[in-house]
Amino acid sequence: MSVSDDGEDIVSVEDLSVTYRSVYGPIKALGGINLKVKRGESVSIVGESGSGKSTLGLATVHLLPQNASYTGGRLMLDGKDVATMHGRELMAMRGNTAFMIFQDPLNTLNPVSRIDAQMLEAVRSRAKHDNTSFNQEEALKEAVQKLEDVRMPDPASIIRRYPHQLSGGQIQRVVIAMGLLMRPKLMIADEPTSALDVTVQAQVLKLLRELQREYNMSIIFITHDINVAYGISDRIVVMYAGEVVESGPSDKMTKNAQHPYAQALIKSVPTTTKKQGRLTAISGSPPNMLNPPSGCRFHPRCPYVMNVCTTTSPKETIKDGDAVRCWLYG
Ligand SMILES: Nc1ncnc2c1ncn2[C@@H]1O[C@H](COP(=O)(O)OP(=O)(O)OP(=O)(O)O)[C@@H](O)[C@H]1O
Ligand SMILES: [Mg+2]
C-alpha cells in the first residue's frame, strides 16, 4: 500500500526500517512498515513481545535509543520528516505535536518536584513554544482544570503532592493531564495500564477513549491485548517480527482477521466480543531477530505454510478493505 501525505494524516509511515546495533550483530527491529494514522483517529498496535511495537512508538517521536538508527523509508509526523529532526525542532515536536506515555509513568515525572511545579513547567514550555505570555495564576487554574478533565478526585489537593504520594492510577492520570496541557495532536501510549490493577486499568482506558474524542486527538495505543485494542481503537495494526502483517477496522479485525497470525492471536485470548471455541496457544516461539526466518517471517509457525512462503516475503495486498501481508491472498 502506498502512503501519501494528504494533510489528513498525523502519522504517515512508508517502508520504514529501524535497526539496532548489538554485540551479536544488527537487529532489524522494523522492516517495510507502512502505517497511517488520521487526525482524531485511535489506532492500536498489537503483537507478541519483541514484535517491534515499542520501537515503532519510539521511532514516531524520535526517542530511539543510542544504538538504533532509521535505516530506510520515511516517517512523517504532522507533515514533517521525523528522522531528520534535531535540536529545538525535536523538543518542540515532543509535547506540542506528539506526547508519549510509558508503561511506568513514574519515569516521566520528577520525583523531587511537586505536581504543581511540574505542570506549571509544562504550561511555561508551551507558552514559550507558542510565543505567548505566561501567567502563573492562570496556568495553575488550567492545570487544576486538566486534572479535573482526567477525572482526578480532589485535584486542588493532589496538585500539591509529590509523585511518591500518589497511587499508580493517579500518577498515570497526572501524566495524561500533563500531556493534555501541551495540547498534542497525537498521544502515543505504550502499555500505559499494564502496571495497574484491572479496575484502574479499565478506568484509564475509558478515560483515554473519552479524551481522544473530547480533544479530537489521535492516539497510537500499544498493547499485547487484542481485547484492549478493540475497546479503545478505531483500527488495529497487527505486528509480527518487525513487520505489519495486517491492519484494518477494529471490528473487522477481531471478527474476521485474514492473516493466520492475526487469527491465531485472536484465538489465543478470551474475548468478550463474540462466541468462541477453545482458546489455543500459538504454536512455536517468536523468531530470533538476529537471524529471522527467510520468506514470510511467520512461516515456521503457520498452519497454512506453502513453498513460496519459505523463500519469498509477501507484499502487502488489500483484501476486503484490510491491508494484509500473506501469500494466501497475494
Ligand atoms: N535497545 C535495544 N538494543 C538492541 N535490541 C533491542 C533494543 N530494544 C529492542 N531491541 C530488540 O528489537 C526488537 C523489538 O523490540 P521492541 O521492544 O520494539 O518489542 P515490543 O513489541 O515492544 O515488545 P514488548 O511487548 O516486550 O514490549 C526485539 O527483538 C528486541 O530484542
Ligand atoms: Mg514494548
pLDDT at 196: 80
Residue 27 Cβ contacting ligand 1 at under 6 Å = yes
The secondary structure of 178-241 as a DSSP string is: HHHHT--SEEEEESTTTTS-HHHHHHHHHHHHHHHHHTT-EEEEEES-HHHHHHH-SEEEEEET
pLDDT at 146: 93
pLDDT at 277: 60
Rounded Cα gap, residues 177 and 146, in angstroms: 5
Pocket test for ligand 1, best of 51, 193, 243, 297 (most atoms within 8 A of CB): 51
The secondary structure of 61-89 as a DSSP string is: TT---TTEEEEEEEEEETTEEGGG--HHH
Rounded Cα gap, residues 330 and 322, in angstroms: 13
Task: Determine which residue's CA is closest to atom 14 belonging to ligand 1.
Answer: 52
Rounded Cα gap, residues 39 and 210, in angstroms: 15
C-alpha cell at 228: 484492549
The ligand with the least distance to the CA atom of 29 is: 1
pLDDT at 187: 95
Q: Distance, CA 57 to ligand 1 centroid (Å)?
A: 11
Domains and their CATH numbers in the chain: 1-83+237-330 (3.40.50.300)
* Order of strands, sheet of 243-249, starting from the edge strand that comes earlier in the sequence: 98-101, 186-190, 218-223, 42-46, 235-240, 243-249, 322-324, 317-319
Task: Determine which residue's CA is closest to atom 17 belonging to ligand 1.
Answer: 54
pLDDT at 5: 44
C-alpha cell at 106: 513514574
Rounded Cα gap, residues 116 and 100, in angstroms: 20
Q: What is the pLDDT of residues 289-309, one digit of tens each?
A: 999 999 999 999 999 999 999
Residue 248's φ and ψ, nearest 5 degrees, are -175, 180
Q: Distance, CA 139 to ligand 1 centroid (Å)?
A: 38
Ligand 1 atom at minimal distance to the Cα of residue 65: 1
The ligand with the least distance to the CA atom of 66 is: 1
Residue 32 is inside which H or E element, if any?
A: strand 27-38
C-alpha cell at 83: 528522522
pLDDT at 4: 43
Ligand 1 atom at minimal distance to the Cα of residue 47: 21
Q: What is the pLDDT of residues 116-166, one digit of tens each?
A: 999 999 999 889 888 899 999 999 999 999 999 998 999 999 999 999 999
Which residues of the chain are under the pLDDT cut of 50? 1-5
DSSP annotation of 105 reads: G
**CA angle, 33 as apex, 24 and 35 as ends, to 5°?**
145
The secondary structure of 38-64 as a DSSP string is: ETT-EEEEE--TTSSHHHHHHHHTT--
pLDDT at 7: 52
pLDDT at 304: 96
